[in-house]
Amino acid sequence: MILKNKFILITGAGGGIGSVVCKKLISEGAVLGLVDISKSLLSDIEKEIKKTAGKSYNFIADVTNPEDVKRVFKEVISVSNSIDVLINIAGIQAPIGPFIDNDLQIWKRNIEVNLFGTVFFTYHAVQIMKQKRRGRIINFSGGGSASPRPNLSAYAVAKTGVVRFTETIAEELKDYNININAVAPGAINTKMLEEVIRAGDLAGKEYIEAISRKEKGGTDPNLVAELICFLASDLSNGITGKLISAPWDPWQKEEFQVLLKNDKDIASLRRIDNKNFYKKI
């Protein structure tokens, strides 16, 4: 039980990935603070946790509302006195389609949820963690953060922002023993897959890929749940400012973990121009 008695606050807890992650965290002994905008989704995951005799607290909040976020942290302190780990999963995918045809209000909402939701929760968590000089923050990246993702421009921009935010804040927090990393969960079959399918031709080539993925099955969500447990635990001490892919990176191997700790260019956003950074062969 590598997370025994650690208090972990997790946004988007009631979603497809969030619920799987919550169950894994509970199995490792964590106490959870569940954050979601949906009361019914929170109730569902709470019922599942109770079946395992796990301990959790519910916090209904819109991650884009600063007052909601402040209230959550005030309530967290009242039940826990502290926070050991923050996991920012809450996210949305819309709008889908060519940028020039997007509704810019929906585009803006995407940035608010995916990027600012992560920023708001990180801001308040860091205030607490700096006092303890210890903490873990795990942010969610996604498709489009490491390569272009046409027809999902808002999502790609927001998730790229999350990665650069993660890298930058990691440098600021090194002296406080606060590790902050981003994870790429892989192509997991969630409601976001259904959104792409409903969008049809607006999603471009992703529509065909989504149909195929629905038939064949996507990435096992337990992979990202295992990665999150690793990053939330003391097993990952010294790994910070990285973007780690749950299905594609060999993060379970000790030699790769050593690279993550010591090579500043591994698992990061870099421009490869053969001048300042070279493509490794």
**Torsion over CA of 83, 85, 86 and 89, rounded to 10 degrees?**
-140
Q: What 3-state class would DSSP assign to 149? A: coil
How far apart are alpha carbons 27 and 226 in whole angstroms?
11
88 phi and psi angles, rounded to 5 deg: -100, 100
User: Residue 177: left (phi > 0), alpha (psi -120 to 50), or beta?
Assistant: left
Query: Which distant-in-sequence residues (6+ apart) come within 8 Å of 126 by Cβ?
Result: 135, 137, 169, 173, 178
9 phi and psi angles, rounded to 5 deg: -95, 130
Q: CA–CA distance from 143 to each of 93, 129, 134, 194, 263 (Å)? A: 10, 30, 30, 15, 24
Q: Which of 57, 123, 155, 176 is catalytic?
A: 155
Degrees to nearest 5, angle at CA 137 with 84 and 121? 90
Active site residue 278: no
Of 188, 142, 135, 187, nearest in space to 163 by CA = 142
Instruction: Cite the active site residues.
Output: 155
